[in-house]
Structure formats: C-alpha cells, structure tokens
A = this chain, B = another copy of it.
C-alpha cells in the first residue's frame, strides 16, 4: 500500500479505536501488507502536522497515540453533556499527588504526610477511575498494600510519563526564597 493509503488507514484506526494505539500495535495491524515500523512513524508524524490547526489534535500519551479535542475547547464543549464534569476535592487531589509523586506508598504513609485519615471513598474513587492500583505490599508488620499510578492515569492527564509532571522536590541547598521564586516561575 502507498503512503497516502497507509496514512488514511492509520487515521481511521485512531479515530475508531476507543483507546490509544501504540506504534507497535499499528505496525502489527498492517505488517502483513508490507508496512514498516518507520512507515507507521512517518504517517503519524504527517497526521500530526495535518491536524495542527484543527479542532482536534493527535497526541502521544502513555499507551500510544490518540485523537482528542483541544483542551482549550473544554468549556465550550461542556454543553454537549448533561452533567458537569466532576471536580475533585482537595483531599482527593493531595492523595493522588502523594501516590503519583511518592509511589510506591502505603495508606499509612499518605496519612502521615497529610496529617489526616485517608477516607476509603477517596481510594475507591481513584481505583474506580483506574488511576491508581495496588502494586505490591510493604514488607513491614501488617504487610500494608503499596499504591502506584497506572498508565490510565497518565493517559487521562495527557502525559506520556510521570516525569512530565513538574518536580515538587527542591533541593536542600535551595533557600526558602529561591524555592518560592522557582515555584512562582513554575506557576506562570
């Protein structure tokens, strides 16, 4: 198949498939028709360019490539749905942040940092969203479960990997003042 056909097929596949598709998966799909890995890559690149100036964009997240509506249209499109998107509580976001930044982490360790009991509802909600998962057990008395974030978390927050989240660790040498300046810069 020629370049144009491959590009059309990959485009159709990405639009039709509800989950992101990896380069490998796309390659497997069309391998039998003599499509190379590089062929897939260059088609993706070309598609990304095509959608540069449109209402949707082709992005690369943790589990592969997907088409999505531009984030800046969020509010304008919200009217499509009856329900307003859920806003998560500060407690949930802090718990999620602890799991994302300090994983693997136990519930007890989360409670220590936040100074407050972690409600079972928060853990349940995070698990139902498939943003966190039990990744093991800590070898201390009671063998508490260790939590970590999932690929679904990265996908849902538009990330390919955790390091894309801004760092929250300021080195010990950082004075309070420079730390605040840095923080402010990050916020701009």
> A135 to B13, alpha carbons, bound, how many Å?
37
Q: A residues 81-115 with Cβ under 8 Å of B?
A: none
Q: Collect the chain B residues with CB atoms within 8 Å of residue A76's CB.
A: 9, 30, 33
Nearest CB in chain B: distance from A84 CB, A: 11
The main secondary structure of chain A at its interface with chain B is helix
Cβ of A15 under 8 Å from chain B? yes
17 more CB-based (< 8 A) A-B contacts, given A9-B77, A15-B55: A8-B54, A8-B55, A9-B76, A10-B55, A11-B55, A13-B69, A13-B77, A13-B80, A15-B56, A15-B67, A15-B69, A16-B77, A16-B80, A28-B79, A29-B77, A30-B76, A33-B76
